Amino acid sequence: MEWKIDRKKCLACGACVAVCPFLAVELTNNQIVNNKEKCTACGICSRVCPVKAIKVE
Amino acid sequence: MFLKNSYDVVVVGAGPAGSAVTKKCASHGLSVAMVEKRQEIGTPKRCGEGLSFEMIDEMGLKIPQNCIRKEIDGCIIVAPNGKKTIIDFGKPSGYILERKVFDKWLAAEASRAGAYVQAKTEVTEILKNNGKVSGVRCKYQGESIDISAKIVVGADGVESKIGRMAGLNTTSKLINIDSGFQFEMSNIEIEDPNKLWIFFGTKIAPRGYVWIFPKGEDIANVGIGVGLTDKPARYYLENFIKEYPSLQRGSILEVNSGGIPVGGFLKNMVLDNFAVVGDAAHQVNPIHGGGIQEGTVAGHILGDVINEAIKKNDTSEYALSPYNKIWWNNHGNKLLNVQKVREVMEKLSDGDFNTITNSLTGEDILELSDGKKLSVLAKALMKNPRLIGLARHLL
């Protein structure tokens, strides 16, 4: 399982951060970053993304 | 200028809720700093920018002219079958704001009350002493600074991490977050640019709606909020625009997106030396998604409670808990009703929606979106035996 973000699509709005149950996604320096150690690749972040910039596959 | 090493209160996040609590604390004479991670307060907006006069009165604000883009005198609700319910107040009843100007003005007001405000300052850590919150570590231009505080307030928006770092679980359930996407469009035709336009329909916006909030005669925030869907919010909004002739020639001046809390209010919003407010505490109306007024009034309640606590030299969870009690009594229970209405609306088919809007007046709809007159909607539902179960949900 891999968490991927398309930075061309991402607007750094933080919707994914709001729903991450594991505090694995953060909005820092105006960028969404994923902490691989915390991420369980559950895909919740990808479902809420208004532009579907996140893919978990 | 520049942050000191110690304050009575540190507020994280300079949106309307953060500014409200900051200003309140400062006007009580407390020393307060408010930090904002973005380099410009109010940007980028994640908001349709509408505020009714009623909301403005509740917040006790005298909004300066330069924050206001347009006066609005009503609202047009378009049902899935295209039928319009027109709510016309016959006189100005609200504003469409320019959030980047408005948010900065609110922050400036907080500073005028005696607080210190600093942008591009990101909190990287919550400092703790014996397991209790004792301050924040933040970063400004690459430099780290530790600030101790009697109370830290998390007003860091829908993506709040401060609460969770402090030990309060503010994570939203997926069901309680709408996915929002918006264009600020120019060179469009608006049939009546003095009204807010709201479009419903499961094809247009599953579990949500499309809005057109005019900022001028030919300029508007055109946005969408949708619940859990397979396709992104952007897809639905672009489809709506393609099929809506008067928007097709429009240009895009701004692209906005964000998560919108639509329920899941926190029973407890405080810890020892800590509280959350605004979107971070999910203080948003679950039907219209408006959070400016909810966050502001909550910020005022919190500011008063903090003042009492600090003056009594007791900032424990217990001493801050009146914030929970007052907010729930005055606002939370009402918002829970709004959440119920929303849950019912989400379950209606387009056909049901058409029938029900037929039997409701514009005023009924306004009351419902404010958590009042739930029985009117229940009655309308009961006309259809299939929907009696939903009616029970409201009573």
pLDDT of residue B254: 96
**Residue A12 to residue B295: CA distance in whole angstroms:** 22
Chain B hits for A27, CB-CB cut-off 8 Å, are: 37, 159
- Under 8 Å between Cβ of A19 and A44: yes
Q: How far apart are the first and last CA of chain A?
A: 5
- Per-residue pLDDT band for A1 (boundaries 50, 70, 90) equals confident
Contacts of B165 (CB under 8 A, 6+ apart): B125, B126
- Closest partner residue to A28 (CB to CB) among B122, B174, B232 is B122
Name the one residue in this structure whose structure tokens are 């895909």: A43
Q: Which helix (H) or strand (E) holds B374?
A: helix B374-382
pLDDT-flagged residues of chain B (< 70): none
Best residue in B46, B140, B161 for a mutation probing chain A (most A CBs within 10 Å): B161
Closest chain B residue to A21 measured between Cα atoms? B171
Q: What is the mean pLDDT of chain B?
A: 95
Judge: B257–A20 Cβ closer than 8 Å, yes or no: no
B6-45+100-171+264-320 matches B69-96+174-261 in fold: no
Closest chain A residue to B159 measured between Cα atoms? A18
- Identify the domain containing residue A7 by its residue range: 3-56
pLDDT of residue A57: 84
β-strands A25-28, A31-34: how paired?
Answer: antiparallel
Name the one residue in this structure whose structure tokens are 């503010």: B170
Q: What is the ipTM of this complex?
A: 0.89
Name the one residue in this structure whose structure tokens are 């020639």: B249
Judge: B179–A29 Cβ closer than 8 Å, yes or no: no
Domain ranges for chain B:
6-45+100-171+264-320, 69-96+174-261, 343-394
- Under 8 Å between Cβ of B66 and B47: no
Q: What is the domain count for chain A?
A: 1
Which residues, listed in sequence order, are joined to residue B259 by a DSSP beta bridge? B179
Closest CA to B114 of B25, B240, B182, B214: B25
Looking from the CA of B62 toward its CB, the CA atoms found within 13 Å total 0
Chain B hits for A20, CB-CB cut-off 8 Å, are: 171
Closest chain A residue to B180 measured between Cα atoms? A50
Identify the CATH class of B69-96+174-261: alpha beta
CA B199 to chain centre: 20
pLDDT tens digits, one per residue of A3-46:
999 999 999 999 999 999 888 999 988 899 999 999 999 999 99
Judge: B258–A19 Cβ closer than 8 Å, yes or no: no
Does the bond joining B44 to the residue before it have cis omega, within 30 degrees of 0? yes
**Residue B206 to residue B227: CA distance in whole angstroms:** 6
Best residue in B179, B210, B231 for a mutation probing chain A (most A CBs within 10 Å): B179
The pTM of this model reads 0.95
**Residue B342 to residue B349: CA distance in whole angstroms:** 13
Shortest Cα distance, chain B CAs vs residue A46, angstroms? 9
3-state helix, strand, coil in chain B (%, to 5): 35, 30, 35
pLDDT of residue B154: 98
CATH annotation of B6-45+100-171+264-320: 3.50.50.60
pLDDT of residue B174: 87
pLDDT of residue B230: 81
Judge: B172–A19 Cβ closer than 8 Å, yes or no: yes
pLDDT of residue B38: 94
Chain A hits for B46, CB-CB cut-off 8 Å, are: 13
For B117-150, what is the HEC assignment? Answer: EECCEEEEEEEEECCEEEEEEEEECCEEEEEEEE
CA Rg, chain A, in Å? 10
- Closest partner residue to B158 (CB to CB) among A18, A23, A30 is A18
β-strands B74-78, B195-199: how paired?
Answer: parallel
- Residue B336, classified by CB atoms within 10 Å of its CB into exposed (0-12), middle (13-18) or buried (19+), is middle
Strands (E), chain B: 6-12, 32-35, 50-52, 68-72, 74-78, 84-88, 94-97, 116-118, 121-129, 132-140, 143-154, 177-186, 195-199, 209-214, 220-226, 251-261, 270-271, 274-276
CATH number reported for the structural domain that contains residue A33 in this entry? 3.30.70.20
Best residue in A8, A9, A11 for a mutation probing chain B (most B CBs within 10 Å): A11
pLDDT of residue B358: 87
**Residue B185 to residue B195: CA distance in whole angstroms:** 16
pLDDT of residue B67: 98
**Residue B32 to residue B273: CA distance in whole angstroms:** 14
pLDDT tens digits, one per residue of B122-156:
999 999 999 999 999 999 999 999 999 999 999 99
